[in-house]
Amino acid sequence: MKTPNFSITGFVKILYLFFLFIGFSACSQYQNVRIPLANSGYTYSGCEPSIDIHPTNNNYIAVGSILDGYHYSKDGGLNWTSKQLKSSFGVYGDPVLKFNSKGNLFYFHLASYNKTSHLDRIVCQKAEVFDEKFNNGTAPRPNGTKVQDKHWMVIDPETDVIYMTWTQFDAYDSADPKDSSIIVFSKSLDDGETWTTPSRISRYGGDCLDGDNTVEGAMPALGENGEIYVAWSGPKGLMINVSKDQGETWLKEEKFLFDHEGGWNIEVDDFFRCNGLPVFLSDHNKSSPHYGKLYLNWTIQNMKTGQTSVVFSSSSDNGKSWSIPTTVHKQSDKYNHFLTWFTVDPSNGNIHFVYYRKGVDSKPTDVVWAQSMDGGNSFKEQVISEKPFEPNPLVFFGDYLNIAARDNVVRPVWPRMDKGHISLWTAIIDLK
């Protein structure tokens, strides 16, 4: 049973009053563009999108979506080409797309390799030019039939080293107490050609039921002195580990950050499922006034009311201390806010969020963009979906949204549902 953290709840309700929230629009002033889906025949195509912007040309934008969709634009997101990604290892969802400093594009995904076992590795496919062919892919070494899932990564903009973390299940969906989930780490020094042997970085494991008591959502972030920080959620709450030698060694025991109020496996009426796993990033722009700050964003659920809120915390001292979590949005008893994602614009350090907002007692759901231009001290939010949509609780709708920003070009990406049919969208947000 999930236990509410009343101290955090109280702080969240009080602290938002101390933050400046500017402007909330009931309709979008930003053009919404529909991204065509790849012709895969997969019922839930368009969910779980991932987006990134080319490091030297903001018109070049890449998006991935389940199960095997690849979408790219050469004109800033106004027009799109969509294809199916292919690999002999199988392409089985959880897409994560990242450009490196050279403009190479990496598409990470789950595997379904018919020569071994289902979901036995995390695959990294590379395209040297984003609108050309991807290679067949590589992967960190599999561990027998253990399931590898929920990967995230960060690419060092100075060295192009790829750092990746994910969850390893002894046996997915097993209720056997002998089976456990752990957080593992691997890195690539050669643009994804080879990978270090995965190493365990969580002393404390979780169960294999893919819920609140599973350790999941591990995401790496870069520190200002070369550190690698990794945050995740699980039965002990939100946790963090750190390496000061590029992932060679880690703290013997992860550190506690916050109770995850309501757990990460939250419930929102009319949605098939929903999670509040953490999103963890840093400001890695040396010219930014907030260079080196660590940012953590997640969703909580009040267990008395069931209401969900998107919260945010930061650290200015290399993770030694953290600000008290506060809501990114205005508090209201009328709405649930959930499925948050955020990014940090590498050109200026501005923070951009995207999340859903839905009436507590109604189905219509809006997409909201929020931004902070002062390192997370204040937020401005705005509805960016041109019209709300109504989800169907019987239709799988994915586990995350996504957003990218560079040089004040901001591109959120999200699925919407109309009469049970899923479509994929972005908004054209160009800031001065």
Cβ atoms of residues 59 and 102 within 8 Å: no
Cβ atoms of residues 382 and 25 within 8 Å: yes
Q: Tell me how far apart the alpha carbons of residues 245 and 238 are, in angstroms, rounded to a whole number.
A: 23
Q: Tell me how far apart the alpha carbons of residues 107 and 98 are, in angstroms, rounded to a whole number.
A: 7
The full length of the chain comes to 432
Q: Tell me how far apart the alpha carbons of residues 196 and 123 are, in angstroms, rounded to a whole number.
A: 14
Taking 70 as the pLDDT cut, the residues of the chain under it are: 1-28
Strands 379-383 and 21-22: parallel
The whole-number pLDDT of residue 19 equals: 40
Q: Which residues pair with 255 in a beta bridge?
A: 240
Q: Which helix (H) or strand (E) holds 11?
A: helix 6-15
The whole-number pLDDT of residue 41 equals: 84
Tell me the domains of the chain and their CATH numbers: 7-30+267-432 (2.120.10.10)
Backbone angles phi, psi at 390, to 5 degrees: -120, 115
Angle made by CA atoms 415, 357, 378, in degrees to the nearest 5: 115
SS3 264: coil
Is the Cα torsion angle 239, 243, 244, 249 positive or negative in sign? Answer: positive
The whole-number pLDDT of residue 310 equals: 99
| Six-digit token string for 130 | 């984003």
The whole-number pLDDT of residue 331 equals: 86
Where b means 16+ CB within 10 Å and e means fewer, 36-51 reads: ebbebebebbbbbbbb
Backbone angles phi, psi at 289, to 5 degrees: -65, -15
Q: Which helix (H) or strand (E) holds 14?
A: helix 6-15
Cβ atoms of residues 183 and 201 within 8 Å: yes
The one-character DSSP state at 177 is T
Residue tagged 């990604």 (tokens)? 85
| Strand intervals (E) in 316-427 | 326-327, 335-344, 351-359, 365-372, 379-383, 402-406, 409-418, 421-427
The whole-number pLDDT of residue 25 equals: 43
| Six-digit token string for 131 | 């609108």
131: left (phi over 0), alpha (psi -120 to 50) or beta: alpha
The whole-number pLDDT of residue 292 equals: 97
**Beta carbons within 10 angstroms of residue 362's beta carbon:** 13
Cβ atoms of residues 221 and 229 within 8 Å: yes
